Structure formats: structure tokens, C-alpha cells
């Protein structure tokens, strides 16, 4: 279940999230051997960090789009939370 770091970094947000969801389902099923569960958990942690990074990058892009001349907000901040 090991995945090279660069393979995860090349995933889109959606693909990484899909893999993370599959890992969670597998772990929740309780049908995974201990060493496989540990490897899955480690991969899930890397996928989670990757998703968080992708979300932070998207947020930064949206904030830059919203800046007008002089760095002043051109529109109201996007609040998706």
C-alpha cells in the first residue's frame, strides 16, 4: 500500500480525497490486517496533508483574485466555512 511521495503530490485534490475516503472505509471495516492498516494509515496521513495543501493553495488563489489595485479587496471575502 506504500505510495511514493511524488505520486501523491501529483494527484489532484479530488483523486487524493477519493483515495483517502477508500482508506477510511477499509480501516472502518475492520477487515484489514494490522500491518496493512498501519501502512494505510500512513498513506492516509500523507493524502490528508496533500489535500490540506491543495485547499490552502486554492484559498490563496481566490484571495489574490479578490484583490484590487493597491492590494485592497475588490469584493467581499469568500466564506465557504
39-55: pLDDT as tens digits: 999 999 999 999 999 99
pLDDT of residue 81: 56
Indicate if the alpha-carbon torsion angle 29, 34, 36, 37 is positive or negative.
positive
Q: What is the pLDDT of residues 5-37, one digit of tens each?
A: 689 999 999 999 999 999 999 999 999 999 999
CB-based contact 32:71 (threshold 8 Å)? no
Q: Which cell numbers in the block locate residue 28?
A: 472502518
1 and 43 in contact (C-beta within 8 Å)?
yes
DSSP, collapsed to helix, strand or coil, labels residue 77 as coil
**CATH classification of 5-71, choosing from 3.10.129, 3.30.70, 1.10.357, 1.10.287?**
1.10.287
Task: For residue 40, give the nearest of 55, 28, 52 by alpha carbon.
Answer: 28
Amino acid at each position: 500500500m506504500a505510495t511514493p511521495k511524488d505520486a501523491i503530490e501529483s494527484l489532484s485534490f479530488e483523486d487524493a480525497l477519493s483515495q483517502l475516503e477508500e482508506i477510511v472505509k477499509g480501516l472502518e471495516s475492520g477487515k484489514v490486517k494490522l500491518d496493512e492498516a498501519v501502512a494505510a494509515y500512513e498513506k492516509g496521513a500523507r493524502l490528508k496533508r496533500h489535500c490540506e495543501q491543495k485547499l490552502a493553495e486554492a484559498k490563496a488563489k481566490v484571495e489574490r483574485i479578490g484583490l484590487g489595485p493597491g492590494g485592497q479587496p475588490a469584493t467581499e471575502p469568500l466564506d465557504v466555512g
